[in-house]
Chain A
């Protein structure tokens, strides 16, 4: 009896020691799970984060990883409250996703205050690596400047040198318009007009009519989500593309195009950093992802969550500690990134993850071989061209 108790005690100490030897890491996926971005991010982000932990084989490498998730409802106050509580009470070390710019900026602040790590994949605001940059934040997938450079620059080079903007009347839309205008004029194009549309808008017909009347060769859609979908759908109805004007989606995800269908969206030109059908590695990842998501292919944001988590875990493994956010992020910046989805890349001192972006055109229905066969690749834009130069963002971490 006594021996058995002693044995049990010894065993208990052993397992406790083993647990102590493992570095605990807690990852929080803070995303929109019920609102307009739930398909771009949402449940899929949680799946992607779990897949990254699984593929990293964390347990073998001395990490004990736990993934939790919550819905920020696209409200900055809800997002910041959850982030605060996660850091203060629940021992979360890193928050990932953070779709919606307003929420991302709020999480950015809290993360800096508490010295943890924030990897943003879903938000578009370039301020995260600009004036509001912090030593605790990495911005992965895209930002408004990169989208403007990608689509704006490419369209002008392809002959679309006069532009008319349909701009969602909020900061995100206006920033997108401003950045794209800069690129268009720099490349020798001209902006002939724009109209601010209330957010959200269901009926774009009268704005499209104004765009049609302007005679511009390109109609730039400086909006997102449901607004973009409605605008594209109605542009088809009013014969805008048949009339020779091109639509340029400034923020379009593959899930949006899938929802429109190739019949309506054909010919749309857009920029994305990821598409499921790029390489064998992306296809393999996407198939596994789709199995867990009822057949849905991952968006660029999901890919970012996967790749970001993977790189983060590498840094934590090297440091054997996750709690000091600034140290982990510094380590992430020191190591070059390499993952199956975005390939090789780097993270700049301002927190900007650098990788290539791709200019896509939506296929015609005749060219599309399946429900998710959506894009054809027009051009690859190298990472050092597509993102904002380091010294132009106004990030205090950049010296000189």
Chain B
């Protein structure tokens, strides 16, 4: 994890992704440098910016998700909406308003070319819980834990209607329709979703911010639930619940 897991794009100009390492990040577009300040907060510096310290909440709060436009009014404004967002060198169109339709569920042959509703795509490591086991102590059950199967590497694609994982060299892709997702939670450096068909799925995105992916999945789910008239989601774990 690093500062760029929190600041998944430049808070000043919206450049995406914001490159960085450890507690530092530097925007190649506007030249803003971000670092973790001593005693808490984030220090922002750069030419024509000066040097200032802001609270983490303030800086993170100024971020908008890709597809919502850039975040700072007083900075150079790249028009992100409706243009391709770079993701690992590949161009992926931004989100459109999701339409809720009952797409295919589970395994499917890989789609040729990009689906029109693709929100974002990246490399991913995915593992699926195969069973649960009990945890006992002093002869009594304390609780249960999940046991995961083998980790697979491939590409993860968030579409307006589904989350799709295509394993490297695999012929079948896993497709989890958003309306079939039961819960979403960040767990350290992974995001976990529970689906009706596959159960618990743990996802790591080594090249991108896990926080960004969690928020993107949240937003896509909100849109799906809204489109289906299921209300506004107020809780994503332990199960999705709407007002």
A, B: real partners = no
